[in-house]
């Protein structure tokens, strides 16, 4: 669980300043949350540049709507929810585009409650990326990319970002039980596709 605790009071203070029009206070919040936001967006998108764009858009959107933030949830939860939503929307656009491209079409894999479009792991044989860890990471990312958005988000938020179930349920606005079952399915799917790619785990 990496850096899970955001001190609630600190964010509150700066959020209040922002709501009174203090732009510099917002900069503090950007500094504080940009890395986490970028990582969430990056794992959802699987693309660094796209992730950067999404993080920017998410911060702008947050700034525009900061007066609408009533403090029911933590500010970070609210902020990450924006980021996840934007990522999800962006992904949908990208997916639609990719599906029209013949090489990007993956083999649909049947799982218990539907289909998961399985993208073959991108096997860029770029000489610089020959390091094995890089290779494995790319494969894992490829498996995550193969997941449907709802499973992917839960997996990222839980296993990568280490948010608690109730935080995730607040961000995604789904009940905790749903978070649990999605997580289970997401893990199973990643396990299966990793097995398929790497042979033995």
Sites of contact with another protein (CB under 8 A): 2, 21, 23, 26-27, 30-31, 34-35, 38-39, 42-43, 48, 51-52, 55-56, 59-60, 63-64, 136-137, 140-141, 144, 155, 159-160, 165, 180, 183-184, 187-188, 190-191, 194-195, 201
- Residue 109: CB minimum distance to another protein, A: 15
Backbone dihedral region for residue 167 (phi beyond 0: left; psi -120 to 50: alpha; all else: beta): alpha
Nearest approach in angstroms of CB 192 to another protein is: 9
| Pick 38 or 86: Cβ nearer another protein | 38
Minimum distance from residue 194 beta carbon to another protein (Å): 6
Q: Which is nearer to another protein, 10 or 188 (CB)?
A: 188
């Amino acid at each position: 669980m990496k850096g899970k605790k955001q001190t609630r009071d600190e964010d509150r203070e700066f959020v209040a300043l922002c709501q009174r029009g203090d732009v510099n206070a917002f900069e503090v919040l950007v500094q504080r949350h940009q890395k986490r936001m970028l990582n969430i967006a990056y794992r959802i998108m699987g693309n660094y540049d796209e992730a950067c764009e999404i993080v920017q858009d998410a911060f702008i959107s947050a700034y525009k709507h900061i007066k609408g933030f009533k403090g029911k949830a933590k500010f970070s939860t609210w902020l990450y929810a924006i980021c996840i939503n934007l990522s999800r929307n962006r992904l949908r656009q990208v997916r639609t585009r990719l599906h029209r491209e013949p090489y990007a079409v993956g083999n649909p894999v049947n799982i218990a409650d539907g289909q998961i479009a399985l993208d073959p792991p991108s096997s860029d044989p770029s000489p610089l990326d020959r390091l094995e860890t890089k290779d494995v990471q790319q494969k894992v990312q490829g498996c995550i990319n193969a997941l449907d958005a709802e499973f992917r988000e839960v997996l990222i938020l839980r296993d990568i970002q280490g948010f608690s179930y109730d935080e995730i349920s607040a961000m995604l606005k789904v009940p905790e039980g749903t978070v649990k079952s999605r997580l289970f399915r997401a893990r199973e799917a990643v396990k299966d596709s990793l097995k398929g790619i790497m042979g033995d785990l």
